[in-house]
Structure 1
Amino acid sequence: MSQPTLTDLKAFRAVAEHQSFRRAADLLGVSRSSLSHTLRSLERRLGTRLLHRTTRSVSVTESGERLLLRLGPLLGELDTLLEEAASHGGKLTGRLRINGSEAAIRLLLQRVVPAFLARYDGVELDLVAEGKLVDIVEQGFDAGVRLRETVPKDMVAMPVGESMRFLAVASPGYLEGKPAPFTPDELAQHDCIRQRLPSGKLYRWEFQKNGQEIAVNVSGALTLDNSQLMVEAAADGLGIAYVPEPYAQPYLQNGTLLTVLEEWCPKISGLHLYYPNNRHVPPCLRAFIDLMRELGASNK
């Protein structure tokens, strides 16, 4: 029996971990047909079936589970050794994939990315901005950036920048001739621009003052799923929006928007970069984290 190659074993690990030929093929940079051929050849060489395949799903067989249990740590250690050897040999190379919200990626572009690319010109930086929260391991990302409250509990998380607030904002034109709300309950008397979350649910506006916490299901004729669009709609006089402060700040500075209920809008834990706790940290991600700390982008 000919011995499987390192490429064969990494291909199996990718498919087994992601349970998808499409995702594994994208991660490895090969076609799905080529990857399928590689796995079938591996199974023939080992004389056992490693994967259950249907038209809709992929799962690991009992033999595949046993192989993956031993293979995962071995390949992880080998990856680490090769990456460390490459970094000690000179220039850091590789690819770093980070997923985050639009606001999170924008913050990285402002605070870290220019210096990182200038220092590590051998690293390919792949940043993906999307509204929905994804499983970064399943989707093949090295790290993610989200609000701390949305980071999975089994992840290592470090702050990116300072704490932040959500602010209720409205245009002077909208507030003209009508009393501004002084308590969250008074939002029922106003047109509110509601937010639909990636899950499809409507976001309940959460306020806090002197230890009192209130969550309000606001009403309004307009619902959006993008903070920037919500800010623009509020600036156009379409109602009150509740958005992260960085989105509203330029409009507050030029007077296009005004805050309401500001004393009910305390600071919360802001954006955090997070990554798996049970895996080695790739050199490219470690360099990114170290630079964040060096630049003061993280106060951890």
Structure 2
Amino acid sequence: MKQNFTVRHGALDGVEAFLSVAHHRSFRRAAAELGVTPSAISQAIRALEARVGAALFIRTTRSVGLTEAGERFLARARPAFEELVAASGVARELGQRPTGLLRLTVPRSVVPILLEPLIASFCRAFPEIEVELAASEELVDLAAEGFDAGIRLGQFIAPDMIAVRLTNPLPLIILGSPAYLARRGRPERPDDLREHACLRLRRSNGALASWSLDDNGRSIEIVVSGPFIANDFPTMLGAAVEGVGLAQVPAPLATGAMATGKLVPVLEQFAPMTPGVFLYYPGHRQIMPKLRAFIDHVKGRSGGTN
């Protein structure tokens, strides 16, 4: 037979009144402590005794004492009530000031170029907030996985999310190592890519991403092929540095490799623009102060807007 383990409606009513009377051994002093009338305390206790099914107090004209049932009820109810009060205090604190654990899901590629300086300044500004970064290419369900917010390229963010811009729109550029280009030549037109080893990205849904290009405002999608598949941009970029093939990545990721001559851009005139990188979060009515503090910090440093 299935049992119902839920607390009955109103089962906690009168518990605070009971604890106050048990502490003071007086209905009058309990009423004064709780800011109600003695008759209200008496009614609350009578209703509680009716629900429990046993008398909890022995009342005389001169004193108030606990029955055996009352003593046992007190032994269990007092620590439980104190825990509820403490739990309410903790929740209230999280709802009133920036504190607690802020969990963010982010692509591994944005951590060094964007988040490391941002997180460092945020942690200095809000020492009572702990920041947890889960670096993954997976497009997770924020609420189901317990994340406060995520960071992604704009094209991958669901339309029902609130987004805060972290970067300007970014070009997607194609690069190859000097050794690879010396061996295979430089592509001059998008169709030339069909004759090159192109490193591919597998998205979190399992699909292989095609390459996007822009030909004088006309969007081109090319299904490329090559010897290597990665599930994140840094891994693909590393393979390109080693001469495995050409890679297409957001431009900021390749700044260092280009500056040192490890990678050379090609087909620059065909580089398409992406919306850029955004912080995103569900559109709750009330945003917890820890997330609001992070949003304001992001806006203050990037000039982004919702």
Q: Does the TM-score normalized on the shorter chain lie above 0.5?
A: yes
- Contact kept, 8 Å, 1:111 with 1:297, in 2: the verdict is no
Per the alignment, do residues 122 and 145 of structure 1 end up closer, same or farther by CA in structure 2, a change over 3 Å counting? same
| Residue of structure 2 aligned with 1:150, choices 145, 156, 181 | 156
- Contact kept, 8 Å, 2:95 with 2:288, in 1: the verdict is no
Matching of residues 148-187 of structure 1 within 5 Å: 148-187=154-193
Provide the residue aligned with 1:266 in structure 2. Answer: 272
Per the alignment, do residues 108 and 288 of structure 1 end up closer, same or farther by CA in structure 2, a change over 3 Å counting? farther
The reply on whether 1:283 has 2:289 as its aligned counterpart is yes
Provide the residue aligned with 1:139 in structure 2. Answer: 145
Per the alignment, do residues 84 and 97 of structure 1 end up closer, same or farther by CA in structure 2, a change over 3 Å counting? closer
Provide the residue aligned with 1:59 in structure 2. Answer: none
Per the alignment, do residues 80 and 156 of structure 1 end up closer, same or farther by CA in structure 2, a change over 3 Å counting? farther
| TM-score with structure 1 setting the length | 0.69
Per the alignment, do residues 101 and 153 of structure 1 end up closer, same or farther by CA in structure 2, a change over 3 Å counting? same
Structure 1 position 288, deviation (Å): 0.7
Provide the residue aligned with 2:260 in structure 1. Answer: 254
Secondary structure (helix, strand or coil) at the match of 2:249 reads strand
Deviation sequence 1:204-248 (CA, Å, 0-9, x none): 001112111111110112222221121111111111111122221
Per the alignment, do residues 160 and 259 of structure 1 end up closer, same or farther by CA in structure 2, a change over 3 Å counting? same
Provide the residue aligned with 2:240 in structure 1. Answer: 234
Provide the residue aligned with 1:114 in structure 2. Answer: 120
| Residue of structure 1 aligned with 2:204, choices 192, 198, 202 | 198
| Residue of structure 2 aligned with 1:296, choices 276, 286, 302 | 302
Deviation sequence 1:95-141 (CA, Å, 0-9, x none): 21111111233345333211111111111111111011111111111
Letter of the structure 2 residue corresponding to residue 260 of structure 1: V
Per the alignment, do residues 79 and 137 of structure 1 end up closer, same or farther by CA in structure 2, a change over 3 Å counting? farther
Secondary structure (helix, strand or coil) at the match of 2:170 reads coil
- Contact kept, 8 Å, 2:213 with 2:220, in 1: the verdict is yes
Provide the residue aligned with 1:19 in structure 2. Answer: none
Matches of 1:263 and 1:167 in 2, distance apart?
9
The reply on whether 1:188 has 2:194 as its aligned counterpart is yes
Letter of the structure 2 residue corresponding to residue 82 of structure 1: R
Secondary structure (helix, strand or coil) at the match of 1:102 reads coil
Structure 1 position 271, deviation (Å): 0.6
Structure 1 position 272, deviation (Å): 0.5
Structure 1 position 80, deviation (Å): 12
Secondary structure (helix, strand or coil) at the match of 1:197 reads coil
Matches of 1:220 and 1:128 in 2, distance apart?
30
Matches of 2:297 and 2:113 in 1, distance apart?
14
Q: What is the count of residue pairs matched by the alignment?
A: 225
Matches of 2:119 and 2:165 in 1, distance apart?
16
- Structure 1: gaps of 5 or more residues: 6-44, 46-77
- Structure 2: gaps of 5 or more residues: 1-7, 13-50, 52-87
Q: CA RMSD of the aligned region, Å? A: 2.5
Per the alignment, do residues 259 and 108 of structure 1 end up closer, same or farther by CA in structure 2, a change over 3 Å counting? closer
Per the alignment, do residues 190 and 94 of structure 1 end up closer, same or farther by CA in structure 2, a change over 3 Å counting? same
Provide the residue aligned with 1:130 in structure 2. Answer: 136
Matches of 1:222 and 1:81 in 2, distance apart?
49
Secondary structure (helix, strand or coil) at the match of 2:273 reads coil
| Residue of structure 1 aligned with 2:92, choices 70, 82, 89 | 82
Matches of 1:189 and 1:4 in 2, distance apart?
74
Structure 1 position 183, deviation (Å): 1.6
